[in-house]
Amino acid sequence: MRHTVARVDLDALRGNVRAIRGLLEDGALASGHPAPGIIAVVKANAYGHGAAAVAHALEAEGVAMLACADVDEGVALRDAGVTAPILVFGALGVSDLDGIFSHRLTPTISSPWAGRALADAAAARDTVLGCHVKIDTGMNRLGLRHDNLRQTLPAILDAPALRVDALYTHFATADEPESEHFALQQQHFAEARETAAALGLRTTHAHAANSAALLRDERVWFDAVRPGLLLYGVVPPPLMTTLALEPALSLHSRVVAVKGVRDGEAVGYGQTYRPDGPRTVAVVPAGYADGLDWRLGNRGVVLVRGRRVPIVGRVSMDMISVDVTGLDVSPGDEVVLLGRQGEERLDVREVAATIGAIPWELLCRLGARIGREYGGGNSKCDM
């Protein structure tokens, strides 16, 4: 058994869903609108947490829909036995068409080509395909441009083999409190929905909010919200919330060696850590091949014996060294790379901030070599 494991607390995940739902229900009560549904985002192996286990837990929690990045991720979810509706965000390729039908996925139409290809494929299979249409309201990435829908939408709305179940968009600056672009995108989306209605779109169903947008602005909740990061118990920086969220993932390892470094010696590749005097260094078997960011070398910290200790020298492919001078550390001692130990806590937002990265990136880069252990309430990380 390898020492480095990610523990995923599915009870925490479900608690996060309930906390988000509570927020949505309270807001809905206040505004008189029905509470939006939750489209739970499980792309990129559920942000590194393990897509199958996470999807089953979310399904049990009654989310309206799951969302993934591409058809292959959707197929993997179906193969794992997931039965909830699955929205595929990404652009489709020719080779994706079969999977949409064989695995009952809901595709996103984000280009005229995708509309034509899906309409033809559905017609050839003698079926009507439910799909969502993505509007580009200013992200300038995927989606039909908001300002020429009169050219692009009719072919999609008029295709007898397609049924558009929702319009959606995605915000570029929902996590930037100062940004005016967020309001501009909202305005473009409102206009796009009016245009679509005028062109004969039969549903008014819409969704737009990622984690940051759903925290920030009730006006963009529409019929469903699309949280990713927030489900996993991490608030998009720099936003804050009073919601009771718990990080679902913690990352643990064990000390495999402890050694003295003498005066004048240096630690690791490039000899980048050369202490002033003798030190005691512990070796931890987790490196950049496991998803630990190389930039954490001489910058990051880990928890050992309930204390924060610095990562010294470079991050190697398979291990790091940490300075445990003055602590009574032996091989076998637990190391926490993310999560809680005793009174101390190290969260992914903090780790990301120390190296100028973002929590999304660090979570979904957690490597395939790391085992995932799933637990409920009794397997919380502070052991």
Ligand X SMILES: *Cc1c(COP(=O)(O)O)cnc(C)c1O
Let me know: does 352 contact 297? Beta carbons within 8 Å: no
Shortest Cβ 142–ligand X spacing (Å): 8
Nearer to ligand X, 6 or 261 (CB): 6
Residue 21 in the binding site for ligand X (CB under 6 A): no
Exactly one of 170, 252, 279, 340 binds ligand X (CB under 6 A); which one?
A: 170
In the window 347-366, what residues touch ligand X (CB under 6 A)?
360
Q: Which residues pair with 283 in a beta bridge?
A: 257, 321
Shortest Cβ 355–ligand X spacing (Å): 19
Q: What is Dmax (Cα atoms) for the chain? A: 78
Q: What angle do CA 293, 295, 299 make, to 5 degrees?
A: 110
**Part of the chain binding ligand X (CB under 6 A), chosen from 49-57, 112-120, 209-217, 343-351:** 209-217
DSSP string, 267-293: BSGGG-B--SS-EEEEEES--GGGT--
CA dihedral (224, 77, 111, 202) positive or negative: negative
Shortest Cβ 185–ligand X spacing (Å): 13
Nearer to ligand X, 164 or 303 (CB): 164
Show the binding pattern over residues 222-261: x = contacts ligand X (CB under 6 A), - = does not: ----xxxxx-----x-------------------------
Nearer to ligand X, 193 or 226 (CB): 226
Nearer to ligand X, 166 or 212 (CB): 212
Which residues are known to be catalytic?
A: 43, 269
Nearer to ligand X, 229 or 251 (CB): 229
**Cβ-closest position to ligand X:** 228
Residue 210 in the binding site for ligand X (CB under 6 A): yes
Q: What's the rounded Cα separation, in Å, for the pair 304 and 14?
A: 29
Q: Is 311 helix (H, G, I), strand (E, B) or coil?
A: strand
Tokens 């909740």 belong to which residue?
Answer: 221
- How far lies 383's CA from each of 263, 327, 343, 351, 372, in Å? 35, 19, 11, 21, 17
Residue 211 in the binding site for ligand X (CB under 6 A): yes
Specify the pairing of strand 307-312 against strand 301-304: antiparallel
Q: What's the rounded Cα separation, in Å, for the pair 82 and 55?
A: 7
Residue type, 373: E
Let me know: does 40 contact 231? Beta carbons within 8 Å: yes
Show the binding pattern over residues 69-108: x = contacts ligand X (CB under 6 A), - = does not: --------------------x-------------------
Residue 49 in the binding site for ligand X (CB under 6 A): no
Nearer to ligand X, 44 or 312 (CB): 44
Residue 268 in the binding site for ligand X (CB under 6 A): no
Specify the pairing of strand 162-168 against strand 129-136: parallel
Residue 41 in the binding site for ligand X (CB under 6 A): yes
Shortest Cβ 227–ligand X spacing (Å): 5
Q: What's the rounded Cα separation, in Å, for the pair 78 and 301?
A: 39
Binding site for ligand X (CB under 6 A): 41, 43, 89, 170, 210-212, 226-230, 236, 360
